[in-house]
Every structure is written in structure tokens, then in C-alpha cells.
Chain A
Amino acid sequence: MLATLQRASRAAPVIAPLACGALVMCIAVLGLAGWLYGSRVLTSFGQDLLPMAPSTALLLLMNGAGLLLIVWRQESLIVRSSALGIGVVALAGAATFTVLSTQGIQPGIEHFGLPAATMPDGMPIGHISPITAAWLTASALALVILHLSRGRSRLGPTFAVVLAAALFLSSLVLLIANLGGAPFGFGPRVIVPALPTAIGLVLLSVGLLFASARSLVAAAHDDSLRGGEFVFQSMLIFMLLASCIFVIAFLHIKEFSQRYHASVEEQLTAVADLKVRDIVQYRRERFGDASLLWNNPDINRLAQAALQVPRNDASRRLLGDWMRKFREAYAYDRVFLLDPRGRMCLAASDPEVQTDTVILRRCADVLSARTVSLEDLYRSDVDGKVYFALLVPVYTADTPLGVFVLRVDPTVYLYPHIQSWPGPSRTSETLLVRREKNDVLFLSPLRFSANPPLTLRIGLAHTATPAVKAVLGEHGIVEGLDYAGREVIAFITPVHGSPWFLVARTSISEAITPVRERLSLMLVLIVILVGFAGLALAYLAVSQRARTYREQFQHAESMHRVDERFRKLVESARDGIVLADGTGSCTDANSSACAVFGIRRDDLIGRPLASHFWLPENGAEHPLWHELIRTGALSTELIIRKPDGTSVPVDVRAWVLPEGNAQAVIRDISERKRAEELQRTLHLELEERVKVRTAQLETANRELETFSYSVSHDLRAPLRGIDGWSLALLEDFGETLDPRAREFLTRVRTETQRMGLLIDDLLRLSRVHRTEMHVHPVDLTSLVHRVSEGIRSGHAGRTVMLTVEEGLTVHADPPLLEIAVTNLLDNAFKFTSRVAQAQIAVGRREDRGRHTFYFRDNGAGFDMAYARKLFAPFQRMHTLSEFPGTGIGLAIVQRIIHRHGGMIWAEAAVDAGATFYFTLEKDP
């Protein structure tokens, strides 16, 4: 919801003016088209509504275009100037029309001379309303101001915002006035804005409001207004709020109006029904009176006697008394008896008064018609008053005797009854009419006409008049214009059994007065509510802005603090730190940087930085800046040439900031370079020495090998000689020698051969040391099995139980490992030779995270006190007579284990067996 609002508020400043401007132009174009093609629907949005004037449409069109062009392609000078031109023309036109229309001047040019009549209520069609003209003048003024003050000052847009807000409110009022009836005495005297106009004005003001707010924000953008978005949000909320209030009010008024209208109609219908019933009853009574006289033999006889010639005074007196009583009892104006020739024969009162000509003329008809007849309301030619009369003919057998005339004065009962209205009303009345040829004749006294009864006539052509509608056969509730030309609502009905029609009417203005009052009240409320909403939002916007300012201030202050800290940090850094703008010119540098460059800060700032740096290899100027721009970051060693001619080696780390500026940290690396140089020299020296030493070592090695070779070759030869010649002595002179001498010679040979063995072992040991190693994974388990079989064959007749753990694998040089294993097993076999049940176990255990292998036997073992000497060459733990051997085996094993980077040790006790443990550097 909020996100939608934010999106809307971001789009609104451009979308709203564009959309509103376009819609306004559409309405205007529709209106103009409606005029050109004579379509009322297009001009007034309804058949019987007031149409929009062409002049209004034209002005709306220009205003809409002006609004559209405020936001559309403002970068184009042509658009800008044409927009301003349109605004000025619209302003001038609207102002002119304002003056003209308030003066009541309505030139035909306003509707292009197209046929333009008046509304039924007399309102002229095709002319601009002064209200519209004034409104459009104001809006055009706002447009011109907005165009003129674009981005320059805040005064113009502020004024435009206020103007637009006022226009928005007033347009809402106009729209409601159009939809809900005319408030505030909106009336025929002033032309009111048409419905399309009102809609157009609302749209125009909304667009104007957004456009001016946008200008205001744009103008204020420089010094602060980051709250621009908030302004538009507030405005959108305001629009929504205003629209809601507007719709609710409109619905309320509509409902109220309908209800009230219905009650008025009910009242009219009730009154009219009642009165018609009374009038019908009244007429029936009058005919009833007449029927007393009609065909009454007694009356006939009396009348015959009274009319007799000569006069029968008694009868005349009797009849006269009866007539007098009759008149008084039934409140007749006059009751008299005429003879067939129309002469007054007998009267209940005032016999001398002349008989009305109308009556006299009817007498003959009545006599010949032989029925009671009623002379409808007529004006007497004797006294000028209005009467109606009942004529009752009197006969003797078939001879007409005369006519009873019962004259009624309507002012006695009929008129007062008709004129009376149940309840107070300023404009309600009932009236009686009847058709007379092509006219309607008003029979009763009129409330709003000086004409006495029977004088006012209206032609049947005036079909808008309810009376005309009545005589033409309509029945029920109708609306129209009454005899006085005012708008009325009426209930019309014929009076049964008579030529009369009853019209009960009340003026619309009175009928809708409560609606108008309610509407006016609502409008005041709306204006207050919307105004308050606007003020509240404006307050919010202002306070938001104040907060923004405050935040900005605080932000700036904290930024300043940060800046200060940063500056101190930078200034105190041992490394040189420089900042550069987008062109590579120095914008700031700390003192370390100045020291490295060897120039003052003022000389450094504003100069291109790149020219200080040179490549260390060839002294060429370094394309530092181009490379930095290309890669975004740089870290390299360069040379800085100081103005005094010296060079400084530096380590430069530079990077480009997102906004295009660059920073660089420059470290003087002279010290490091010197140290590096020194180190390099030392290193070279060291290498030289190592080389010499290595050569010496190699020589020594070579000598050692030569020595070994000599030992092998040269020492063995004399030994063989000693042995050979001792044997030769034994063979050739054995018989002559003493047995002890032979024994000694044998000893000489034994020792000689033993020395040969020792030399061989020594050579083997040295060979172990000299052999090149190739480490592979070796299956120790199968190696032990294989070696043990070879050894077993040398110990025939012994039972040795050998257990080897499965899956032992080591990383070792296979030939060397085989030698080691051979020696260990050899020992194990050898030292268990005196045990009845020899047992040898080979396995592996974990010892401090390392694989440790062991060879365990239950043989002779040894004293742990001598364990230290165990692995020295030619060290023996047992006498030769106990166990033969040279004592070189374990020395060889140790060398092999050490060459693999492992360790070997032993645990043993005398006659309790021995265990040899070893590790190898690389475990599987």
C-alpha cells in the first residue's frame, strides 16, 4: 500500500499533468465536435443538460495544452516558447470573456454563429459562464507563471500552488453544484458552468496542482528540498482525501434529494387527491340539490300555480318561502324561477336584480333538453363576479313552465377550498382549469397572478405548463413552467364528471430549498474539511521539511566530525595519501605525500599527479592515469623524481572512487629497497658459500665412496691372501705341523673370514645411506610374509608362529623397506631360536595420532639398560656363541627408518622377548 503510494507519488508529478492535460483536451475537443455536429450528448453529457459553450471548449483546449507542455519536452526551446504563447493567449481570451460575460454581453462569435437557443428556463446556450471565464483566467495565469518562473524562483511556483489549490476546491464545488443541484442561488440570472466544463475544470486544477508542486520542488531542489517526494505524497493523499469527501458528500446529497423529492411528490398527490374528491362531492351535492326540484310533482304543481295567470298569490307566497329556505339551507347565491321566456317570475331574494345573460341564453336549451344542466363557471355581465348555476326545467305534462335557477357563488366555498393548502408553503397552490377551444382557462383565483379567475388563458402550444399537460390528458406528477414562468412540480388530475382539471403545484425552487440548504451546508463542510486536510498535509509537509533540514544539518555536522577525524588520520599517516579529481589533478594531499614528492602542498594541489611518477625499469614516464582509469585500481612500484633531482622508490596503490575521483596511497620504500638490496647481497654471498660447501661436501662424499670402494676391494684382497695362504700352509704342510699349529691356522682363517663379513656389513650400511629413495605405497603385510618365508628356510626344523596384521600399508622405498624388514625378522627368528614355542607378531597401533608398526617376539630379549646402544653399528647384546651376528642389522634398520623420516625404538626385558616399534614419515 505504502509502496504503491510511493511509486505513485514518484510518477505523479509528470503523469498527473500529462494525463489531466490530455483528458481536458479530449473533453474540449468532444465539446467542439458536439457543436459542429449538433450532438448535445457530446457538449453537455446529457440530453436536457446545459451544453458547454464553444468558447469554453476553446479555452479549455488551450489550458489543457498549456498544462501538457509544462512537463512534456521542456528541453526544447520551441516547445517552451509555444507553451508560453498558448498560455498567454488563453489568459487574454479568458480575461476578455470574463469582462464580457459579467457585463452580460454575449457575442454570437462565442458559438461561431452556430444555432444556439436558450434553455427552457431561459438560460442562454453557447455562451461562456462568467464563473468559468474567471476560473479559466486564474488557471491560465497560473500556467503563464509556471512557464515564466521555471526553475528560477520559488515565488512563482508557490503562488501557482496556492492558486491551483483554490481552483481545485472551487472546481469541486462547481462539479457538485452541477451534479447535485444548484446551491447558493445558482440560478437563471447567471449562466452556470456546464457539466463537461465542471469536469474539465476539476481535471485542470488537479494537473495544475501537481505541475506547480513539481516546479516548486524543482526550484527548491538546490537548497534543500529532499522532501520533494513527500510533497507529492502529501498531494496524492490530499487528492484521494478530497475525492473521498467529495464522493461521500455527493452520494449523501443525491440520496437526500431523492428522498425529499419523493416526499414533495407524495404531498402534492395527497393534497390533489383530497381536493378532487371534495370537489367531486361538492358538485354531486349541487346536482343533488337540483334533483330535489327536478320532476318533483309538488314543486311542479306549486310552480304551475305560481306561474298561473292571473297570479295565485298564495301559491307564489308558498313557493317563495320554500325557495328562500332552500337558498339559505344550501347557501346558494340566488335561487329564482324564470318563465319560459326568461322573465323573472319568482326570486328567493332581490327580485329586481337582472338575470345574467348567460343564464337567459341557456333557458331555452334547458327547457328543450328536459334535463338538469349546469352552467359552468362564468363571469356575470350584471355584477362582473364569477358564478356557476344549476338550471332545472319545470314542466306540466309536456308544457314547459319555466326554469329554476340555483346560482352559486364560488367564492363562498369552492374558491377558498381550492386555495387552501394544508401546511405552510410559499409557492404551493391548487388551481382549477378547463379547456376552452385552444386555450387553457384558469378558473380559480391565482396566487401569483393579478388576473382574476376566468381571465388568464394560456395557449395549448405551451406544453411545458402543467395546466396544458392536464387538459391534454396527462395525469400525475409533472414538471414544467407555470403561468408565471417559474419552474414547478405539479400533480395534475381531471375532476371526474366535470370539464375541470385540478393542478396542485409547488415551485421547484421551494421544493428543492431544503436540498439546496443541505447542499450548501455540505459544500461549506467539504470546503472546510478539504481545506483542513490540505492544511494538515501542508503542515506535515512543512514539518517533514523542517525535519529534513534538521537531519541534513545533523548529517552535515556528523559528516564534518567524520571529515575532521578522517583528516587528522590522513594527515598523521606515515604513508603519502593523495586525492585526485576525474582528470587526474591533485585535489588534496597529506604532509607525508608532500614529503615524498618533495614539494609544498600548494604546488601539488591542482597539478596533474601522473607526471611525478616514472617507471623504475627504464625511467620512462608512467601512463599511470590511463591505466588507473582503465583498470579501476592499481598497485605497483614506481619512482618519484623530486624537484631537487633525487629519486624515491615508492609503492603506489591507487583506486578510482564510484564518483570518478581517485585516491592513492604512496609509500616511500627507500628503506625497504635498501634492505632488499642488502638482503640480496647477503643471499648471493650465502649462495656462494653454500655452493662452496656443497662442492666440499660432494668431494667428501666422493672420497667416502672411494674409501668404501677401497675398503671393499683393497681390504678384502689381503684378507683373502691371509686365508688363502693359511689354507695353503695347512694343505701343503699339514702333516708336518703340530696339531696346535693347525688349530691356530684354522683360527686365523676363521677370524679372517669374520673380518670379511664385517667389511661386507660395513659396506651394506654405507650403501643404505647412499642409495637413492623412491617412496611408493607398499603392502607391508605381504612383504613380511614373503621375507619370512625366505628366512624360515634358513631355520629348518623350527616351529615359529608368525602373525601379521592384515592390510598394513606404508609409504616407503620398497628395496630399503625390504632390507629393514629382513633384518627385523632375521633378528626375531634368531633370538627366538632357544624358545620352545617361538612367536612373532607384526602389527600396527595408534600412538599419539601416528601409525606405529611393531615387530614383537618372545625370544631372548635384552636388558633395557643397554637399549641406548642397541642401534649403534657392531653393538651386540649377546655373545657370539649364544647368537651369531655382526651387530650391524639394527644399525641398518635404524638408518633406513631415519631416512624415511621415522623413528625406531625398542622395549624388551631379558628372556621376556623384545618389541621393535617404528614409524614412517608418510602414513597411508
Chain B
Amino acid sequence: MNGKIILLVEDNPSDVDLTRRAFERGRLANELVIARDGQEALDYFFGPGGAAGAAPDRLPELVLLDLKLPRVDGHEVLRRIRSDPRTRRIPVVVMTTSQEEQDIAQSYDLGANSYVRKPVDFSQFSLAIQQLGLYWLVMNEPPPKGASA
């Protein structure tokens, strides 16, 4: 499970730290790349201002995506990820506080692999993070590398 990058797209620093703490306590030693807003996430994939993005070996194994983000919101980020051949197969788990049906439906429509509501109770939150990591990074067979047709 080494070398696998997890991209956390989250604007709330408290949540970022809590997430990181949850990973640590879950003994998930993967590299956690943080994007503070949607634009930053897009820049990570596709490069700022249309320049070249991340190298193929720097593409994340899992994206944890918040929906409510400054500048570009989570849905837009998801749409862009799914519309690019290089990134379209990357598992994206939407992690958000919203329980709105509309948000859930739109996320799945745009190709989210999972939708997790962040509980207020941190014990439950860290449990959820650990299970997510376990599932997506260990149990789940990742998509083949390289661009698809």
C-alpha cells in the first residue's frame, strides 16, 4: 500500500487535520495530498493555466472530495475528472456534510464511486475514514493504469 496517493479535496483545515489524524490512527501510511479548493484539485490533475498536470505516477489512487468548495465546487471537479481520459477511472468518494438528495443524486450522476456523509461524532468519522481507506486502497482492485480509449 505504499506509494499510493490519496487526494483529499477539503477547504476546512480542521477537517483536513481531523482526516489526516483519522488516517494516522487507522495506520494508513499513504501519501495524503491536500487540495484546499476545487481549482487547486484541478490544477493538481491538469496543471495550472492549461500547463501539464501531474505525472501519471503521481495520479492519486483515491480522491476524497468535499462538495462545498471555494472557487470551483466539488461537482465541477468531479465532472472534470470524469471527462478526462487519464483520470476518468480514478475512484472518487464524495465526503461531505450534506445529506441533500439533490447533492447525492448529482454526485452519482457525475460518476462518484461512493457518497459518505461526514458524521459529527469524530469517533464515527475516523471509523468511516479508516474503513474507506481499507476498502478502496486494500480490498478494492484498482483500475488498470494508463489512459483508456
Contact = CB atoms under 8 A, between A and B. Distances in A.
Contacts of B149: none
Interface in B81-98: 96-98
A94 B82 CA distance: 131
A175 B15 CA distance: 142
Interface string B6-29: 000000101100100100000000
A709 B100 contact: yes
A713 B125 CA distance: 15
Contact of B122 (A712, A724, A763): A724
Given A713-B68, A753-B121, A720 B18 contact: yes
A712 B99 contact: yes
Contacts of A727: 122-123
A720 B118 contact: yes
A807 interface: no
Contacts of B21: 724, 728
B120 interface: yes
A756 B120 contact: yes
Given A709-B98, A712-B99, A763-B99, A717 B14 contact: yes
A724 B121 CA distance: 7
A721 interface: yes
A265 interface: no
Contacts of A752: 120
B122 A723 contact: yes
Nearest to A712: B98
Contacts of B143: none
A884 to B, nearest CB: 16
B142 interface: no
A725 interface: yes
B14 A716 contact: no
Contacts of A755: 120
A719 interface: yes
Contacts of A557: none
A293 B21 CA distance: 206
A720 B96 contact: no
Nearest to B100: A709
A714 B67 CA distance: 12
Given A721-B15, A721-B18, A716 B122 contact: no
B99 A724 contact: no
Contacts of A717: 12, 14-15, 97, 118
Interface in A234-253: none
Given A720-B119, A720-B122, A760 B14 contact: no
Given A712-B97, A713-B97, A716-B97, A724 B18 contact: yes
A272 B118 CA distance: 162
Nearest to A705: B100
B64 to A, nearest CB: 15
Interface residues of B, number: 19
Contact of B100 (A712, A721, A753): A712
A771 to B, nearest CB: 9
Contacts of B123: 727
A718 B18 CA distance: 11
B100 A716 contact: no
Contacts of A718: 14
A724 B98 contact: no
A727 B124 CA distance: 11
B96 A713 contact: yes
A584 B130 CA distance: 98
A578 to B, nearest CB: 68
Nearest to B120: A756
Given A720-B18, A721-B18, A724-B125, A753 B97 contact: no
A713 B97 CA distance: 5
Contacts of B18: 720-721, 724-725, 728
**Which of B18, B99, B120, B122 has the most chain A CB atoms closer than 10 A to its own CB?**
B120
Interface string A488-514: 000000000000000000000000000
Contact of B98 (A713, A723, A749, A756): A713
A723 B120 contact: yes
Contacts of B14: 717-718, 720-721, 724-725
A42 B103 CA distance: 123
Interface string A115-154: 0000000000000000000000000000000000000000
Interface in B1-58: 12, 14-15, 18, 21
Interface string B122-148: 110100000000000000000000000
A716 B97 CA distance: 7
A4 to B, nearest CB: 91
Contacts of A709: 68, 98, 100
A727 B68 CA distance: 25
Nearest to A728: B21
Nearest to A711: B97
**Which of B119, B121, B122, B123 has the most chain A CB atoms closer than 10 A to its own CB?**
B122
Contact of A760 (B68, B96, B99, B125): B99
Contacts of A749: 121
A720 B123 CA distance: 10
A723 B97 CA distance: 15
A752 B119 CA distance: 11
Interface in A696-753: 709, 712-714, 716-721, 723-728, 749, 752-753
Contacts of A756: 119-121
A756 B97 CA distance: 11
**Which of A712, A713, A719 has the most chain B CB atoms closer than 10 A to its own CB?**
A713
Contact of B121 (A712, A723, A728, A760): A723
B118 A716 contact: yes
**Which of A717, A718, A723, A755 has the most chain B CB atoms closer than 10 A to its own CB?**
A717
A114 B17 CA distance: 158
A727 B120 CA distance: 12
Contacts of A724: 14, 18, 21, 122, 125
A578 B35 CA distance: 90
A727 B127 CA distance: 13
Contacts of B118: 716-717, 720
Contacts of B68: 709, 713-714
A464 B14 CA distance: 168
A340 to B, nearest CB: 185
Contacts of A719: 120
Contacts of A728: 18, 21, 122
A295 to B, nearest CB: 177
A753 B99 contact: no
Nearest to B21: A728
Contacts of A725: 14, 18
Give the top 6 A-B pairs by smallest Cβ distance, nearest first.
A756-B120, A724-B122, A721-B14, A724-B18, A716-B97, A713-B97
12 contacts: A713-B97, A716-B97, A716-B118, A718-B14, A719-B120, A720-B97, A720-B121, A721-B15, A721-B18, A723-B121, A724-B122, A756-B121
Given A709-B68, A728-B21, 5 more contacts: A714-B68, A721-B14, A724-B14, A749-B121, A753-B120
